[in-house]
Structure 1
Amino acid sequence: MGFKEQIDVNRLPKHIAIIMDGNGRWAKNQGKMRIFGHEQGVLSVKDIVEGCVDVGIEFLTLYAFSTENWHRPKEEVDALMQILISTINKETETLNKNKVKLNAIGDIESLPQECIDDLNEAMGKTAHNTKCTLTLALSYSAKWEILAATKKIAQSVKENTLQVDQITEELFASKLTTVNIPDPELMIRTSGEHRISNYLLWQMAYTEFYFTDVLWPDFRRKDLFEAIVDYQKRERRFGKISEQLN
């Protein structure tokens, strides 16, 4: 029996977040330039999005470009931006076919204007889709996000439109870029690294982590389904004990 057949469709994680890692190492193993790995990683994105639609995952968030990635060599950053632009342009029709809504979080204004324009156009064209929401974390940093939310709240307190005792977890979450997205139940990181790299720090307080040695360009829906099966074997207690859940 394959992993897909083992999935309990009544216990699916509503939201899966993925750190797509290993493109550079994959390319090096092939004797190619790093950018070749990024290009091949796009094929994995397509397959994983379709895999999520296939089994009924409602939200998928991909860590596509962190604020730290701006420190990479300029030629690699420029190439990544071009891949982003071309992929958005090519895949909008496929997203609509699969009824996938495109979303983006992060410091979007720091992206090249062409990226911003194409991203906004694609989000507009897919806004009516309801089967799955694909969120790209672009120029994203959880510390940046938390700091920005804190500044918004501090400004409201300064302007006397918000009292300190009105600041709650729910209020804070409403100031984050993920305000309309449920917290992820499952986070997958490829390539064998065991860290979350400044990704959705607030949102992943109770997320289940799944780490795999598979490099991102080799990661396919069968690997996604394996991660979901592993997730479904876990007991999520949220501070309670097993007897309370049963």
Structure 2
Amino acid sequence: MSKAQQIAPTAKIVGSVEFRGPGRIIVQDRVRLSGQPAPSHLAAGPEGQVSVGASSVISFGAAIYAAELVEIGEGTQIGPYAAIADSDFHAVGDRNKSGRVAPIRIGKRVRIGARVTILPGSTIGDDVEVLSGSVVSSPIESGATVGGVPARPVGSGFSDPSGQATTVEEVFRRVFGLPNAPPTSAGPDQIPGWDSLGSLRVLLALEETFGVLLDQSKIAKAKTVGEVASLIDASR
């Protein structure tokens, strides 16, 4: 780790998280970074700076690059396989010409879903929710819920860009191939396949769906779907 990389001693790193480049990378107190099961990458060019605010969560498979500035506010959650870059790297149709560079600023307590892409010049206000699979290319006001390509307001509450509500029960139905979503009182005895391997499959699906980082040991100890849902609420 170079002198330009400032990682707070209270930050928690799980799995493979790579810090690259000559620029500054600042990770503040109580940040959680996951590189498991897929590695995450934070990189800063010669004049760049990546700043991750206190108590933020960056999930697995994330890629963050700053040619100038990527600023992430306190308490923000970034979901699996999110891509955030303040540079186009090269002009369209001309690899010898530099692309656009514009700072990215993400506010406090923002929830960024799985496989979200945030493009150069984007500004996201506080308490915003960006739904999975969205592409952010313009300013987003504080408190908004946005989704789609490009991301635009879709109303309140968690839903995917197609407008279908996503619940923990629905994740269980999808993971285990059930005909209907199970009740919150259902446990391993009522859900075929909910064993140690099934718990891991549920954990990965929940992290990707809700853009959170979960404790595998707590998921494994959960006795009902409702207890798993409580762990999701506690992680936000």
Shared fold per TM-score greater than 0.5: no
TM-score by length of 2: 0.23
| Higher relative strand content | 2
Higher relative contact order (CA 8 A, sep 6+): 1
TM-score by length of 1: 0.22
| Higher relative helix content | 1
